[in-house]
Amino acid sequence: MARARTLGQELPLTILQAIVLGITQGVTEFAPVSSSGHLILVPWLFNWPILHDANLNKTFDVALHVGTLLGALVYFRHDVARYLGAWIRSIKARSITSTDERLAWALVIGTIPGAIAGALFEDVIQRKLGEPWLIAVMLAVFAAVLYVVDKRVQERRGLDDLSIGNGLALGLAQALALQPGVSRSGVTITAGRAIGLDRASAARFSFLLALPIVAGAGLFKGIDLARTGLPAGMGGPFLWGTISSAVSGFLVIAFLLSYLRTHDFLPFLVYRLAVAALVLGIIATGVRPATI
């Protein structure tokens, strides 16, 4: 047993840590609290070795996103089939004649800004914009923006009222979430509420809009993983991280779409402000550094 514990301690990522990070990814990818920010803050808070292993961190990130994608695809399988079929029909007919076709194009057009921004600025974001102090600030600022917009805008539109131009606007908002702490779902839901979508419709479109981005990021990073293979001894942590992110992602989507039909974003505002205060307090007291 002593030898097993020693070997476990030598691993840069244990199975328990992988499960914690998998659940963190699954929950925060869709809850408006920033998955990228939490995936930095959790290992930063506990000083886990993966935080200082850039290659392993990027590779494990692929596994977590694949897990999240799988969970979301299972939940939205009917929507994906519906809008994909509508998009193909629209291309064949060279026209947009139905609500499903319009929404399918809104999702396609809305994906473009985030894809371009990710391709152009990924390295800059990873090197300069992932510092804990900045994540804390972004958590607080964009939490307040979400709450204020949600309270001031009346609910007057459903998902079927969304135009292709609206899809582009939400896609531009999604591109802002490349900054850790902003929250991809949070900023797209904010944009959805700003154009008058009800909470559940804004959340649903936000979640659907995430699928191409998450799939594209997983595919892009997975190419490198296919060339290099898994790091030695990481099969178990990668498997459990993927499973936990898939299951937690599925459950959170189901919960949020039900919750937002009758509730507002106050709990997420309180949570984000509390996390921001905790991080800044930890930095101020010197327990953990402000940068990585």
For residue 169, the tally of other CB atoms under 10 A from its CB is 21
Residue 141 lies in a domain: yes
Q: Is the C-alpha dihedral spanning 152, 155, 156, 158 positive or negative? A: positive
What does DSSP assign to residue 230? P
Assigned domain for 9 exists: no
* Per-residue pLDDT, 2: 36
Residue with tokens 């894809």: 115
The answer to whether residue 23 is domain-embedded is: yes
3 lies in a domain? no
218 closest CA partner among 40, 70, 34:
70
Residues of the chain with pLDDT under 70: 1-10, 126, 224-225, 228-229
Rounded to two decimals, the pTM is 0.90
Q: What is the pLDDT of residue 233?
A: 77
Q: Which pLDDT score, from 0 to 100, does residue 10 have?
A: 64
* Domain assignment of residue 1, yes or no: no
In a domain, 243, yes or no: yes
How many domains, in total, are found in the chain? 1
So what's the pLDDT on residue 21? 97
Evaluate whether 180 touches 37 at the Cβ level (below 8 Å). yes
Q: Which domain holds residue 256?
A: 16-284
In whole angstroms, what is the distance from residue 292 CA to residue 289 CA? 7
Look at residue 4 and tell me if it is in a domain: no
Closest CA to 292 of 128, 94, 85: 128
